[in-house]
Amino acid sequence: MTEMKIFIDGKWVSRKSAKISVFDHGVLYGDGVFEGIRAYGGRVFRLNAHLSRLQRSAALTSLVIPLTAAKLEKLIYEGLKRNRLQDAYIRLLVTRGEGDLGLDPRCCPKPNVIIIIDKLALFPEKCYREGLQAVIAQTRRTNPDALDPTIKSMNYLNNILAKIEANRQGVPEAIMLNAKGYVCECTGDNVFYVKDRVVVTPPVSAGILEGITRAAVIEIIRKKTSFAIKESLFTPQELFSADEVFFTGTAAEIIPVTLINKRPIGTGAPGAVTQELVGHFKQLIKSEASSTQPASPQRRGSIGLRLS
């Protein structure tokens, strides 16, 4: 077996040697941004979208990513080779870097880029066949007035609290509401429901992370199916009376949800619309993995923008 190689501090090192300073503000304050990315058949899925989201998250936190998008892309492909993985989950982090105990980012001159490449099975295979169980968490999603949830930052505490609620209730995932009580998203996935062949998902203004898988699914619905797609606010009641519910995310892909708060959704089995979308999504992955078009981003300069 190949030993895992992790990129940290400008070089590839073994898992054992991949260490971070206790003074890194990523450790002290969760000050940093990240992306969860997938590779299929040696090709990174929607890398440009991930790098753009990373750039946006960094810009909105006044974090300058010290490497260009082109360099990050090169490193990710190099990491796949070094780890001898074709199908992999890639975690790309940019922490604020080493500073002192005060939270002022100005004391951290050198942001730290970390790339971890591994296999990841978020949910057991059985959940894809039979459907996932979830609960509606008491913990609300971060209020967009307080912290912009479209920033994919290393602060996941409210999602973690919701995950703990799910754990306590013995189910794999929790659905989080926004401050107004509308369905927002899961701890690490976006939410969709289907009613009478209309697919509905909360709008970004609900306070969600704008998922790259969510965007791919919306694109599939528009281009490949006769279903309607609607971005609108909805309450948990609409989930309970839906024909189907599914979650989307880079790690989870598309996963059917068949039981929420112990209440069966639709027939209680994965629905036909979800299954059709799963089929199209697999097709999309295959076609993008075999596409001759280079996935390379056009950007050249440093991808961080200093706003302040």
Which residues lie near ligand PMP (CB under 6 A)? 36, 159, 185, 188-190, 209, 211-214, 248-250
Smaller CB distance to ligand PMP: residue 249 or 270?
A: 249
Smaller CB distance to ligand PMP: residue 95 or 250?
A: 250
CB of 247 to ligand PMP, least distance (A): 9
Smaller CB distance to ligand PMP: residue 24 or 185?
A: 185
CB of 159 to ligand PMP, least distance (A): 6
Query: Residue with structure tokens 């003074």?
Result: 23
Smaller CB distance to ligand PMP: residue 108 or 199?
A: 199
Tokens of 72: 């990050």
**Closest residue (Cβ) to ligand PMP?**
211
CB of 277 to ligand PMP, least distance (A): 14
For the stretch 278-285, contacts whose Cβ atoms lie closer than 8 Å and that sit 24 or more positions apart, written own/partner, are: 278/253, 278/254, 280/220, 280/224, 280/225, 281/216, 281/217, 281/220, 281/253, 281/254, 284/216, 284/220, 285/40, 285/45
Do 94 and 58 touch, CB atoms closer than 8 A?
yes
Angle at CA of residue 135, ends 130 and 138, nearest 5°:
170
| 152 among known catalytic residues | yes
Smaller CB distance to ligand PMP: residue 61 or 248?
A: 248
CB of 72 to ligand PMP, least distance (A): 16
CB of 57 to ligand PMP, least distance (A): 11
Query: Residue with structure tokens 């090192």?
Result: 13
Active-site residue identified among 71, 74, 152, 180: 152
Q: Please identify every residue annotated as catalytic.
A: 152
